[in-house]
Structure 1
């Protein structure tokens, strides 16, 4: 068993970067309310605006377009609810929300809530076996009733299986039909090129702790002409779209982390893709029945996040694998939810065509800035025994 825990769950949260930690602690020591007009308040405001410039530069956006939030979930909620209410308020026919069937819960649950409480019609866009949305499917849905579409929502890259979506094509389609397009780019920032100014892209959500910033800081990039209704009300901060006192310390760390992540992206993507390929080859060698889910990305063409390796292990319960790996010093993830102690299959894997039993055997290994060859070696060293024990345990509830 490794003496130091091996962290293979960077998709959940990345370790805090040293410079981000310094930025956070320095601002915590200074204090100040960014909305105050006295000297400490102006100093805190300067920290916030520097962070806004840093995040904007990382995303190819203008600083005025960056609306700070508490994280990706709030940014997604502001975009989906805000766009829907604005669009339907302008034309009551606009009730249809076109949304991919592999979205993060921050988007999917928001759409379901709007359908249950505000008259929205959720149109779940299918995906292929790799988790990719077909632009032609989107085109057909947009063309079917363009006057009734409130918005399109498709993530940049999937948080479970790592599939990178054809965002530029989808944005162009939305632009052609005059439909707002929201994109959750939480997993994409720092891993693949992200451009907030793609023609047709209306709003873009990101989160600080996925790139080595602190938890509690995120942003929604919303162009000057994006029609959004605010989700919360108060002091009118952030263009009156997101009221509330800004956390200058967390935002300082977010800005530093975003800048570093983008600056090192090209080199890190190549390094992590090679490390991922080594991990994938090793798992396949040790457990021949394990199946990689999502695109192969053998030529590193960018169809899959460079640090993502997601497998299903037939006959195993994902939670069993997770806890056995954790006991062996390896931190991983199932990528699925567990409700009331009952294992549930991932909705992403079900949307990709897997049956429930197969989907329940999921395990995600996600690499990041601190990942090394030694981490992969440690996983491969313990996996045979872990897999054998998980197989013996079988699927809970199975006959």
Structure 2
């Protein structure tokens, strides 16, 4: 089996797994405490949470606080819903559904267009009553990197807050230029079930999940020391390995572009995270391709929308037809992908596409 779906989730780092085990029960049976309890077991668990919080915070800009959540989706909901009522929320056309659907549910969504290269530039108007602008840093389907620093400036000029979905960027490239930043542990070799929202100092949010007042009164519910410890270990490892991981991804990308030279790249060639290649062959039956390549794990788009049957809203937003969108695949690779795995996968995928006569 060869795994090439790093945008959906990443393999758990051994260091993250080891950090989690201590807070499931631990070698002496003392690691299961509730971090909100005042006794010794609780204080030990709380100390583990705060140690991990520092590690997660080290990949964010200074001058903010980290709020742990159950996912990036929850973090984005807290940012969008909790940052105010009334006014418009401007979001790029290629945002994750966690942003698009939440903004639309509030009835105040304003969609920002993107170029055929997949970038959302600031040379477009926002509503006069805009209170929040959300533009993701690295797109989860096509990997394009957005000019988030420019958008932060534009938000400030319009007296609006700026939110970044940095799920695909955090731990890979510098994340900066925002008022709020949402991330997820399992996209950087941490565990599933834990995310975080970074909030710039001075920004007040309204709690969206009530019932206990944990996480500084912003997110009720018992925290999981094991998941958070795994998140912290993964974040620390990502910080330590950022340059090495990036160099490895660049090498893999260069080889992948050779191996898939007769495929068309969707999105910008240069302004992208190179661990994400969204490729198409016109006329390709992607469902058949995936059926014939069962030992290669890759995607036809976002894992979160894989069962919808609809063409990707991201590919549609950059101008692809329904047929072109449905003849596209996404290859994602990273730290634990080997060159040999990539070459074998390319041989399997290209042979199956060739069998279709495309």
* Shorter-chain TM-score tier: over 0.9
3-state SS of 2:331 partner: strand
Which position in structure 2 is the counterpart of 1:172? 153
- 1:135 matched to 2:122? The reply is yes
Which position in structure 2 is the counterpart of 1:384? 350
C-alpha separation in 1, matches of 2:209 and 2:62: 24
Which position in structure 2 is the counterpart of 1:72? 72
1:333, distance to aligned residue in structure 2 (A): 0.5
- 1:293 matched to 2:266? The reply is yes
TM-score computed with the length of structure 1 as normaliser: 0.85
C-alpha separation in 2, matches of 1:104 and 1:317: 25
Unaligned runs of 5+ in 2: 26-30
C-alpha separation in 2, matches of 1:259 and 1:59: 12
Q: Cα 1:213–1:202, aligned 2, differ >3 Å: closer, same or farther?
A: same
Q: Is the 8 A contact 1:322 1:363 kept in 2?
A: no
Which position in structure 1 is the counterpart of 2:104? 112
Which position in structure 2 is the counterpart of 1:97? 89
TM-score computed with the length of structure 2 as normaliser: 0.94
Which position in structure 1 is the counterpart of 2:289? 321
C-alpha separation in 1, matches of 2:313 and 2:47: 43
- 1:335 matched to 2:318? The reply is no
Give the superposed CA RMSD: 1.5
Which position in structure 1 is the counterpart of 2:9? 13
Q: Cα 1:259–1:338, aligned 2, differ >3 Å: closer, same or farther?
A: closer
Unaligned runs of 5+ in 1: 89-93, 298-302, 393-399
1:347-377 deviations in whole A, cap 9, x for unaligned? 0000000110110111100011101110111
1:173-194 deviations in whole A, cap 9, x for unaligned? 1122220011100000122111
1:201-216 pair list within 5 angstroms:
201-216=178-193
Q: What is the aligned counterpart of 2:239 among 262, 272, 290? A: 262
1:66, distance to aligned residue in structure 2 (A): 0.3
Q: Cα 1:383–1:237, aligned 2, differ >3 Å: closer, same or farther?
A: same
Return the structure number with greater helix share. 1
1:135, distance to aligned residue in structure 2 (A): 1.3
Aligned length: 351
3-state SS of 2:183 partner: strand
C-alpha separation in 2, matches of 1:390 and 1:233: 54
1:7-86 pair list within 5 angstroms:
7-29=3-25, 30-61=31-62, 65-83=65-83, 86=84
- 1:124 matched to 2:124? The reply is no
1:274, distance to aligned residue in structure 2 (A): 2.1
3-state SS of 1:23 partner: helix
3-state SS of 1:271 partner: helix
C-alpha separation in 2, matches of 1:180 and 1:306: 29
1:323, distance to aligned residue in structure 2 (A): 2.5
1:283-308 deviations in whole A, cap 9, x for unaligned? 12xxx2x21011112xxxxx211211
1:134-182 deviations in whole A, cap 9, x for unaligned? 1111xx22xx51xx11210110110000000001111111122220011
3-state SS of 1:238 partner: helix
3-state SS of 1:349 partner: helix
C-alpha separation in 1, matches of 2:306 and 2:16: 33
- 1:354 matched to 2:320? The reply is yes
1:18-49 deviations in whole A, cap 9, x for unaligned? 11000111110111001000000000000000
C-alpha separation in 2, matches of 1:67 and 1:247: 13
1:123, distance to aligned residue in structure 2 (A): 1.1
